[in-house]
């Protein structure tokens, strides 16, 4: 797998773009650097005083989780999914409904939400196994729309467009020690924990046999099948894994906002999530993180022109595909060109 | 009551069919879905409405101008989002065209506002009674216009020289090029024909519902795509049949199951069709053959 394998990133990045090499050195080298990055991240609430800035940073982290989840399907396995907001919604509504209606603890709703997300991932992954890129995009788009419609209309469960308000703050209790996660600093540490969990999971799964199988499917499905990789199993697995991470982000969103409504899970939301790994470079974990910083952070700088945000996103998708389809940090993913 | 509703469903189906033809024609030539087709539908209606309200141009002229502008836009989409990526991986083209769709949709929102706009259209002709069924004139207008266009299209594709060139390119692009057919010209022609039909469908839709909004193209486009797949993508008659069936299914689903989930009916049909009969009702290729990756 010339130039295309992510699993051998620990050897030097010869023949790669300098940005890629730099990013890889930065993110995947010695443990001291990892610890330094983690400490730097943990120090953020001590430095940043403004609530607004904290909110933006927390949102960036939230989108890192979402985009890394999508990256599993789009970047590792090479399957288009333009309905990632469906998994996000699943996590958010599970947490919201179970916490407000049934008084369950947040820590229980996270695994339940992720489990339901996995079921949803299987439900979307299975019928789309045989579909090619453009069909897959259309079907996942439709699936995302169905979830939105259901959230909007199932009044008895989701309260429809009115949404579910007053979702309680998560609590941590260990013997006599209690912590209520209800301010920006504590939410920051909670999402930082989720981000760390997500990155670890993504890196480890990428470097495993499963990750190799996914990338083999991405590079050439037929060859992968000949090598004994069960296409159906691994594609569905990618959807399930991605869905679990999407639901995790949703659960956090639910308690952070303390309010969920279908409007947070529209098609446009899915499209924004899709652009993050594309900007960063499909399949690249550091790239996806940088992509989230740019895609979520930059619009905050141009808040006065917020109505143009989606216009810019659309134009950006076209221009990116024409001029730099591999993204900022990505490698040339598609070695073979497709000819009609 | 049933007949009255059936008229509405067939009307809806005729509009889906017109829109589905655009998907199926573009797919037939370049083997890719035109995600921005719904936006042509939307801009066709919006330009017409804009000419009618802002410049008080009468409907026939305004609609022609609207169709022309939307068609130009369709050609522009081909130029910007497809042509530079002609030899790029399919993945990249899908994302670029999807981006185009998002761009146009939100541009329309910025220019014309996100609210619903009233599309006023009164023919001044009283409704027609057939037994117990009351048919407003606009419904007849929609049905007749769609029928004429579909017949004209099938004549164009089967009887004219350009139609022949299109069919040749759809069948085998390289062989057609060797016969001296410029595939670029045929692709532009396909976008012109498909986009103008899509724009007409948008205007008819606006006449039927009397309201337009920048997001109308998204749902309608998804449904028309479902119709094209149901009928057999790449096949013009399939798109007509699929559109009609989808209109009836959606109407019947809304009437007898739940009106809240009417928009979900099309997606459910799309997924079912792709699982059980990916080549569609009038499909031309062997099961699954062209749907597989690469």
Q: Compute the distance between CA of residue B20 and CA of residue B143 in angstroms, rounded to an integer.
A: 15
Does residue B245 sit within a domain?
A: no
Q: Compute the distance between CA of residue B100 and CA of residue B85 in angstroms, rounded to an integer.
A: 13
Q: Rg (Cα) of chain B, in Å, rounded?
A: 19
Helix axes A285-292, A184-206, angle to 10 degrees: 150
Task: Report pLDDT for A217.
Answer: 87
End-to-end CA distance of chain B: give it in Å, rounded.
49
**What is the distance of C-alpha A287 from the center of its chain?**
13
Q: Are B78 and A275 in contact (CB under 8 A)?
A: no
**Set of chain B residues whose Cβ sits within 8 Å of the Cβ of A132:** 90, 291-294
Does residue A6 sit within a domain?
A: no
Contacts (Cβ under 8 Å, ≥6 apart) of A129 = A231, A232, A235, A236
Collapse the DSSP code of A179 into the 3-class scheme (helix H, G, I; strand E, B; otherwise coil) and give the result: strand
Contacts (Cβ under 8 Å, ≥6 apart) of B65 = B47, B48, B51, B57
Does residue B238 sit within a domain?
A: no
Residue-wise pLDDT tens digits, A27-68: 555 677 777 778 887 777 778 778 888 888 888 999 999 999
Tally the residues of chain B. Answer: 294
Structural domain span for residue B127: 11-216
Does residue B95 sit within a domain?
A: yes
The residue of chain B with its CA nearest to that of A155 is: B260
Find the farthest-apart pair of alpha carbons in chain A and give their distance in angstroms, rounded. Answer: 67
- Quote the tokens at residue B123: 């023919």
A331: left (phi over 0), alpha (psi -120 to 50) or beta: beta
Task: Report pLDDT for A338.
Answer: 41
Say whether A130 and B291 touch across the interface (CB within 8 A).
Answer: yes
Answer whether residue A306 shows pLDDT above 80: no
Say whether A315 and B99 touch across the interface (CB within 8 A).
Answer: yes
**Set of chain A residues whose Cβ sits within 8 Å of the Cβ of B33:** 134-135, 137-138
Q: Taking CB atoms and an 8 Å cut-off, how many pairs form between chains A and B?
A: 152
Q: Compute the distance between CA of residue A133 and CA of residue A110 in angstroms, rounded to an integer.
A: 31
Chain A nearest CA to B114, separation (Å): 10
Q: How confident is the model at residue A145 (pLDDT cuts 50, 70, 90)?
A: confident
Q: Which of A5-19, A276-290, B152-166 has the lowest mean pLDDT?
A: A5-19
The residue of chain A with its CA nearest to that of B218 is: A267
CATH number of the structural domain spanning residue A313: 1.10.3470
Does residue A120 sit within a domain?
A: yes
- Three-state helix/strand/coil letters over chain B: CHHHHHHHHHHHHHHHHHHHHHHHHHHHHHCCCCCCHHHHHHHHHHHHHHHHHHCCCCHHHHHHHHHHHHHHHHHHHHHHHHHHHCCCCHHHHHHHHHHHHHHHHHHHHHHHCCCCEECCCCCCCCCEEECCEEECHHHHHHHHHHHHHHHHHHHHHHHCHHHHHHHHHHHCHHHHHHCCCCHHHHHHHHHHHHHHHHHHHHHHHHHHHCEECCCHHHHHHHHHHHHHHHHCCCCHHHHHHHHHHHHHHHHHHHHHCCHHHHHHHHHHHHHHHHHHCCCCCCCCCCCCCCCCCC
Say whether A133 and B107 touch across the interface (CB within 8 A).
Answer: no
Helix axes B161-171, B183-209, angle to 10 degrees: 100
Residue-wise pLDDT tens digits, A104-142: 888 888 899 999 999 998 888 877 777 777 778 888 888
Residue of A25 and A286 predicted with greater confidence = A286
Q: Compute the distance between CA of residue A61 and CA of residue A67 in angstroms, rounded to an integer.
A: 10
Question: What interface predicted TM-score (ipTM) does this complex get?
Answer: 0.80
Chain B nearest CA to A310, separation (Å): 6
**Set of chain B residues whose Cβ sits within 8 Å of the Cβ of A315:** 99, 103
**Chunked mean pLDDT (size 10), chain B, 294 residues:** 83 89 85 86 92 87 92 92 82 86 90 84 78 82 89 89 88 86 89 92 89 87 88 85 90 80 81 78 56 38
Answer whether residue A12 shows pLDDT above 60: no
Say whether B263 and A135 touch across the interface (CB within 8 A).
Answer: no
**Set of chain B residues whose Cβ sits within 8 Å of the Cβ of A339:** 87
Does residue B271 sit within a domain?
A: no
Does residue A298 sit within a domain?
A: yes
Does residue B111 sit within a domain?
A: yes
Q: Which of B93, B58, B164 is nearest to A340 (CA)?
A: B93
Task: Report pLDDT for A17.
Answer: 66
Say whether B99 and A317 touch across the interface (CB within 8 A).
Answer: yes
E-strand ranges in chain A read 171-174, 177-180
Q: Which of A245-249, A260-264, B84-88 has the lowest mean pLDDT?
A: B84-88
Mutate to test the interface with A, among B88, B99, B261, B278 (most CBs of A within 10 A): B99
When divided into structural domains, chain A yields a total of 1
Task: Report pLDDT for B260.
Answer: 75
Chain A nearest CA to B190, separation (Å): 16
When divided into structural domains, chain B yields a total of 1
Please report the sign of the dihedral spanned by the C-alpha atoms of residue A142, residue A143, residue A144, residue A146: positive
Say whether B294 and A127 touch across the interface (CB within 8 A).
Answer: no
Mean pLDDT of A212-240: 88
Mutate to test the interface with A, among B20, B102, B105, B183 (most CBs of A within 10 A): B102
Compute the mean pLDDT over every residue in chain A, rounded to the nearest whole number: 81
**Set of chain A residues whose Cβ sits within 8 Å of the Cβ of B268:** 146
Does residue B168 sit within a domain?
A: yes
Structural domain span for residue A306: 18-323
Mutate to test the interface with B, among A123, A136, A138 (most CBs of B within 10 A): A138
């Amino acid at each position: 797998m010339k130039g295309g394998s992510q699993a051998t990133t620990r050897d030097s990045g010869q023949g790669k773009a300098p940005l890629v090499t730099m990013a890889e050195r930065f993110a995947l080298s010695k443990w001291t650097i990892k610890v330094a990055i983690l400490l730097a991240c943990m120090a953020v609430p001590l430095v940043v005083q403004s609530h607004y800035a904290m909110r933006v940073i927390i949102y960036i982290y939230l989108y890192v989780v979402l985009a890394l989840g999508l990256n599993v399907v789009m970047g590792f396995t090479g399957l288009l999914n333009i309905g990632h907001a469906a998994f996000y919604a699943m996590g958010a509504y599970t947490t919201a409904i179970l916490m407000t209606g049934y008084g369950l603890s947040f820590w229980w709703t996270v695994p339940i939400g992720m489990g339901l997300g996995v079921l949803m991932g299987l439900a979307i992954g299975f019928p789309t196994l045989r579909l090619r890129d453009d069909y897959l995009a259309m079907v996942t788009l439709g699936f995302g729309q169905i979830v939105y419609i259901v959230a909007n209309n199932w009044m008895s469960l989701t309260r429809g467009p009115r949404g579910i308000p007053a979702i309680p703050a998560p609590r941590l209790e260990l013997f006599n020690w209690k912590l209520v996660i209800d301010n920006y600093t504590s939410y920051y540490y909670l999402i930082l924990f989720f981000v760390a969990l997500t990155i670890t999971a993504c890196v480890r799964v990428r470097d495993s046999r499963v990750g190799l199988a996914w990338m083999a499917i991405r590079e050439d499905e037929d060859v992968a099948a000949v090598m004994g990789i069960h296409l159906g199993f691994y594609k569905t697995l990618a959807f399930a894994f991605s869905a679990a991470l999407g639901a995790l982000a949703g659960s956090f969103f639910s308690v952070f906002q303390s309010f969920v409504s279908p409007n947070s899970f529209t098609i446009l939301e899915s499209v924004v999530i899709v652009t993050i790994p594309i900007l960063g470079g499909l399949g690249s974990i550091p790239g996806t993180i940088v992509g989230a910083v740019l895609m979520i952070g930059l619009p905050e700088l141009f808040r006065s022109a917020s109505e143009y945000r989606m216009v810019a996103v659309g134009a950006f998708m076209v221009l990116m595909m024409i001029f730099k389809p591999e993204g900022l940090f990505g490698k040339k993913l598609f070695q073979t060109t497709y000819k009609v | 009551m049933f007949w009255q509703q059936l008229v509405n469903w067939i009307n809806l189906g005729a509009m889906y069919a017109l829109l589905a033809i655009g998907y199926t024609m573009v797919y037939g030539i370049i083997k890719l879905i035109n995600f921005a087709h719904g936006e042509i539908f939307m801009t066709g209606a919006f330009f017409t409405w804009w000419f009618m309200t802002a410049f008080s141009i009468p409907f026939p002229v305004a609609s022609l101008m609207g169709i022309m502008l939307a068609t130009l836009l369709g050609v522009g989409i081909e130029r910007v989002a497809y042509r530079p990526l002609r030899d790029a991986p399919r993945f990249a083209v899908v994302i670029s065209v999807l981006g185009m769709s998002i761009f146009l949709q939100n541009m329309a929102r910025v220019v014309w506002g996100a609210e619903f706009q009233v599309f006023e259209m009164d023919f001044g002709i009283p409704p027609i009674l057939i037994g117990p069924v009351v048919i407003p004139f606009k419904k007849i207008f929609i049905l007749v216009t769609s029928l004429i266009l579909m017949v004209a299209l099938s004549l164009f594709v089967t009887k004219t020289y350009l139609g022949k060139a299109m069919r040749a390119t759809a069948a085998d692009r390289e062989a057609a090029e060797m016969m001296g057919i410029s595939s670029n010209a045929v692709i532009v022609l396909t976008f012109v024909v498909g986009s103008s039909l899509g724009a007409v469908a948008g205007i008819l839709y606006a006449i039927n519902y009397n309201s337009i909004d920048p997001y109308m193209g998204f749902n309608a486009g998804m449904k028309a795509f479902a119709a094209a797949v149901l009928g057999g993508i790449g096949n013009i008659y399939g798109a007509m049949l699929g559109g009609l069936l989808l209109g009836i299914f959606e109407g019947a689903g809304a009437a007898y199951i739940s009106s809240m989930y009417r928009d979900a009916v099309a997606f459910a049909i799309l997924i079912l069709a792709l699982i059980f009969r990916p080549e569609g009702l009038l499909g031309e290729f062997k099961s699954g053959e062209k749907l597989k990756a690469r």
